[in-house]
Structures are given as C-alpha cells and as structure tokens.
C-alpha cells in the first residue's frame, strides 16, 4: 500500500511516498528566516506556498498516480499551530478528493519509527534532540514514555540562540559545531540535571556573558557543547539503567552533531549498549517519518474519522497509539548509571562500597569535578536525611582519592525494577517524601529506582543531586520526577501516584501547595 506522508510542524514542509518495503520519494523545502528564529506566521506562509509543489513532486518521483495512494498520513502535532494547520488542510483535501483513508500522527513518533525502520533496532531508548524537542523516550506498558526532557528550552534552540549572538544565520547548530572544533579552553558553565531532565537556559546566559567579556567564540562554543552534551549523555545513560533496554536510537537534527555522537558511542561502549544512528537524511523533519508512523498506526487500528483530524500543538508521544512494538527482554544489573557497587563487610555489618566511576565521554577535568561534587553531596544529604528521620542507609567510611564511600547494604527490592505497585506502599512512600520535604530537604533524583523495599520498610537512596531548600517549586520537581517514573514504570502508575499524594499531604503541611504547583508544571510543559 502506497502511503503519502506529510510533515510540517515547524520550519520544514515535506512529502514522501513509501510502502512496507521501500521509500520511493522524499521531497522537502525548509523555511530559513533572514534573521532571528522561526516566525510562525512566516513559516506557515512558506508551507502554504510550497505544500502543493512538494506533494506533486513526491508523487511524480515515486512514478505513481494520486488515486493509487492507499493512505494519507500527516503530522498532527506537536508543533507551531499555523504550520500544522496548512499541512493538515492539505492532507484532508487529498483524502477527500481521492477518497483515501487518513491518519494524523504524533511527530516524535515519526522520528522513532523511521529510525527503527532504517536502522533495524527494535526496542531502544531514543534520544530525540532538535530545536523544539529534547526528550529521552522508551517503550513501556503499551506506550512510548518520556523518561526525561528539557525543563526550559530545547538543545537545538540553545545552539541556534548562541549562534545568533555571534551573527550566524538559522539554523545555527552546524556553525556552533564548526566553531567548537577550534576551541581549546573549557569555560565554567551551568550543569543542570534533575534526574533524567535537563535545563539549558542558564547555559545561554553564561555563554552570552562570556562573549561580552571577550572570551573567544571558539572556546564558548566548545564549552557549550561539552557541558550540554555531557548533560544529555548522563541522562541518557541513566535512562538505559532505569529501563533495562539494550540499545540506543539517535534522532532529530542535533543528533547529526559528530561530537554528540562520539560521546554517546563512548558511553555506550562503557555500558555495553548498542547505538543506532538514524541516517542523516531522516534525522531532520521529513515526510517519510510521518508516512512510516502513519502506516503502522493504520495497520494496527485503522484510519481516523475526518472529524478527528484536528491538529494538537501539545500532542505528546505518551498519548500516541503504538501497540505494534515487540518489547525486548529487559536486563537489569546492580550497577548504577554513574557508580560501581561492590558488596563487602564493615566490622561485621553488611556493606556496599559505592565508587563513582570516571566517564570517558566527559573532559577529564569536568568529570572529576562532577564525580567529587556528587559524592560529597550524597554524603551530606544522607547525613541530613538520617538526622531528619528519613529511612536511608547508614554511612560507614569515606575515600576521597577514589571518590568512593562505604555504607549499609539495604538488601531489599528496588521497587522500580520489581514494578511494585501496592497502594499501602505508595501511601507510605508519600509520607516519607512528605516528611523529607517538611524537613527542608529535596532528593533531586526521586525516581522509582532510588527506592528500596526491605521487610515491609521503604528506604531512599542516592540523593546525590539533592539540596537544602524551602522552595515549593523544588519540592514539586521532586514529585514530578517520582510521578514521571511511576507512570512510565508501573502498570496503574497514575493510581499508585494518587496514593503517594494522599500520604504526602498527610505528612507535609504545605503538601497541597506542592501538588498544585506540580499541576502547574504539567500545564506549562512546552516540549511535547
């Protein structure tokens, strides 16, 4: 069956003809503003002026007639509403004129499905990095789930904004990459990671400040890449160990960056994970990826009704239908994403030695700084949490030279790996987190994998990104990490979190304010 795939979420309008066996054509045209970033109205005007041409050329290059098309697939969202409307209108016109079934699909779903098709990978963790999106996605419990994402601007947006500071046109990522190759001095940049989420706006502010002070643009670009990509690779590795997946898929325009690919390959080699790189032609937004996602959707559940083909600028991949994925067997280990764990004894007590291992993908000076800082913070937070009555392992000894320490071995079950969803456990977890927050302590990486159940008791581990704070927003981000992890990991994750919130508000006077702020954060999420 021939499928016409139409893409037009942002700067590129594209059409492709494909079937189950072959991609017959791919025609794309890209709006490039003379200055500044994308103007939504100008992008829509560009799409309007070119949509007929790209469709006509794609059909011609495929050597078929319009009435031979068996399905029209279009990008329903997320994206810029004016651009989305142009492509959706064209798709509906084709479907009505030629009486063709129609399917509206999720844009990120297109990236992952064209990547799976072209590379042969089956059940990966996908790093999707572009101007408008920065996400870590994996298949779990019948849906693709977002395990981590940017909390402010996308990585591609960051690179474009920095390029504009130096007078380079859109898109600026390739110019930043070229400048970085000539850099030699690592400047101190913000390194902002929350669990598997990242934030980049502080890095833009720092870069602007360095340029104003007269630092070499080459050094600024190199530093931005090293810090930003290290953040991405760290969170990607954490997602690998959280999900137990055996492969990585790279997608999106920024995934073409050679330094990012090099860093991911190093990390994957250290972790024993295979990396699949979406071919450059399909990394950028394109009609073939929409056609592939539409084909799979249609074969799995049939076409959309015409009244259901409206655009959705906030259409998240975890809302998209994707029943066709055959999940690989997951592999979990005792090793963490950042640490090597060794079981031992300490004066007759069961103990573990936790050593923060060097990361070959990071510049050595940066790597040492991060490992030592994380170790010190973990020790500080464990002490504070213990004094506040939070169930955490006892500390035994410290070795600064090895960036390691020894602590009590909590020989229990990781509730993330075991997928424990008991409501009484959920409510008790809420009480513990509520007590922690009421003591002015924020865990910083509150995911299901950092919670251990032993003999009916819960313990929190690895608060290495925690902080002492009284900010409602900090507590809300803690709860957001837990919520995202539970929903992604557990059958009935939403019900589990309802019980967590109940216990949380029982034990924290400001709990209702935190839950309200959590709802506000969910509403503000830009990156879908």
Catalytic center residues: 445
Q: Residue 167 burial (CB < 10 Å; 0-12/13-18/19+)?
A: exposed
The Cα–Cα gap between 7 and 19 comes to 17
- Residue 429 CA from chain centroid, whole number: 26
User: Is the Cβ–Cβ distance between 165 and 205 less than 8 Å?
Assistant: no
The β-bridge partners of 30 are 12
Planar angle of CA 57, 60, 61, nearest 5 degrees = 85
Q: Does residue 43 contact residue 31 with C-beta atoms inside 8 Å?
A: yes
Distance in angstroms (rounded) separating the CA atoms of residues 380 and 47: 55
What DSSP state is assigned to residue 66? G
CA-nearest of 377, 273, 327 to 144 is 327
The answer to whether 160 touches 173, Cβ cutoff 8 Å, is yes
Indicate the pairing of strand 134-140 with strand 125-129.
antiparallel
CA 339 to centroid of chain Cα atoms: 22
Tell me which residue of 210, 241, 238, 234 sits closest to 224, measured CA to CA.
Answer: 210
């Amino acid at each position: 069956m021939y499928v016409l795939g139409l893409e037009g979420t942002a700067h590129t309008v594209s059409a492709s003809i494909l079937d189950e066996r072959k991609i017959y054509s791919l025609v794309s045209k890209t709006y490039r503003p003379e200055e500044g970033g994308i103007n939504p109205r100008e992008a829509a005007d560009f799409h309007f002026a070119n949509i007929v041409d790209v469709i006509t050329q794609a059909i011609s290059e495929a050597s078929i007639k319009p009435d031979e098309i068996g399905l029209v697939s279009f990008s329903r969202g997320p994206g810029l509403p004016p651009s989305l409307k142009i492509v959706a209108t064209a798709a509906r016109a084709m479907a009505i004129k030629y009486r063709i079934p129609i399917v509206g699909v999720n844009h990120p779903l297109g990236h992952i499905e064209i990547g799976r098709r072209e590379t042969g990978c089956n059940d990966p963790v996908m790093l999707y990095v572009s101007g408008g999106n920065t996400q870590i996605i994996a298949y779990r419990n019948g849906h693709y789930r977002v395990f981590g994402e940017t909390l402010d601007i996308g990585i591609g947006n960051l690179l474009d904004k920095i390029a504009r500071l130096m007078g380079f046109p859109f898109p600026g990522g390739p110019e930043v990459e070229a400048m970085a190759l000539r850099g030699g001095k690592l400047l101190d940049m913000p390194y902002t990671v929350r669990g598997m989420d990242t934030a980049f706006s502080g890095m833009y502010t720092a870069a602007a400040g360095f340029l104003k002070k007269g630092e070499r643009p080459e050094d600024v670009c190199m530093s931005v890449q090293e810090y930003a990509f290290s953040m991405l690779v760290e969170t990607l590795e954490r997602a690998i160990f959280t999900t137990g997946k055996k492969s990585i898929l790279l997608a999106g325009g920024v995934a073409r960056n050679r330094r990012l690919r090099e860093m991911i390959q190093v990390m994957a080699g250290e972790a024993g994970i295979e990396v699949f790189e979406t071919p450059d032609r399909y990394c950028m937004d394109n009609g073939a990826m929409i056609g592939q996602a539409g084909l799979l959707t249609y074969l799995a559940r049939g076409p959309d009704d015409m009244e259901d083909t409206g655009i959705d600028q906030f259409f998240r991949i975890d809302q998209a239908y994707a029943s066709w994925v055959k999940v690989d067997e997951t592999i979990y280990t005792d090793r963490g994403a950042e640490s090597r764990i060794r079981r031992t004894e300490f004066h007759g007590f069961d103990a573990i030695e936790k050593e923060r291992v060097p990361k070959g993908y990071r510049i050595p000076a940066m790597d040492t700084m991060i490992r030592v800082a994380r170790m010190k913070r973990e020790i500080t937070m464990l002490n504070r949490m213990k004094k506040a009555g939070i169930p955490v392992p006892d500390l035994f000894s410290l070795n600064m030279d090895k960036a390691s320490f020894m602590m009590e071995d909590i020989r229990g079950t990781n509730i993330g790996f075991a997928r424990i969803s008991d409501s009484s456990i959920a409510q008790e977890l809420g009480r513990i987190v509520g007590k922690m927050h009421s003591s002015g302590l924020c865990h910083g990486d509150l995911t299901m994998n950092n919670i251990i159940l032993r003999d009916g008791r819960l313990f929190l581990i690895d608060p290495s990104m925690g902080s002492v704070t009284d900010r409602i927003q900090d507590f809300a981000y803690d709860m957001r990490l837990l919520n995202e992890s539970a929903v992604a990991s557990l059958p009935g994750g939403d019900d589990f979190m309802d019980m967590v919130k109940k216990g949380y508000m029982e034990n924290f006077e400001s709990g209702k304010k935190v839950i309200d702020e959590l709802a506000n954060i969910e509403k503000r999420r830009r990156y879908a």
